[in-house]
Amino acid sequence: MTERAPAPGGLVLVEALVNTLDLETGADALDTGRGRAALGIGAAGVEDARELREALRVVLLAHAGYPPHAEVTPLGELLAAAPLLVTVDPGDGSAALTAADTGALRSRVAVAVAEALVAGTWTRLKACESVTCHWAYYDRSPAGRGRWCSMGVCGARAKMRRYRAKRV
């Protein structure tokens, strides 16, 4: 859907999860083995992944200044069940944030969110304002005021609708 570069660091996982559902066509990559494999989950984890995806989408819409698209379990509640650990390398003393359960999607998302908070990039991950899209994208605009996943698709459609509305 988008021509934008992927989000930086661990946010690429969050972006990929949110973008498993194409709202315009209804196609859900979590319905396919290939789509699940890309996120490192099995068939048993699909419902949890869907719940997490929609909670993330609500937060990304909030980052862009838009109300929730649906009632969902709050992201904070979902991530509270994903304990994180600080690991310290005894050789050089470097520290890293890791998931207690490295295979769990929630835990990996929790690490990505925590790292993005520290890096100051979390609020730059947004959802497209188009109600038929809500695709996740990383806003690289200087002012951080991007509105659409793609100016060539969603942005152009919105501008054309505004133009036509003025002419009527």
Series of mean pLDDT values for 10-residue runs along the chain (168 residues): 81 97 96 96 96 97 92 96 93 94 92 96 95 93 84 69 73
Torsion sign (Cα): 64, 67, 70, 75: positive
Phi and psi at residue 79, to the nearest 5°: -80, -20
Which residue, among 158, 20, 40, has the nearest Cα to 99 in the 3D structure?
40
**In the prediction, which pLDDT does 3 show?**
65
Strand locations in the chain (E): 84-88, 95-99, 125-127, 136-138
In this structure, what token pair is assigned to residue 63?
Answer: 């980052």
Q: How far apart are CA 104 and CA 41, in angstroms?
A: 8
Rounded CA-CA distance 61/56 in Å is 9
Whats the size of the chain, residue-wise? Answer: 168
Per-domain boundaries in the chain = 11-72+122-167
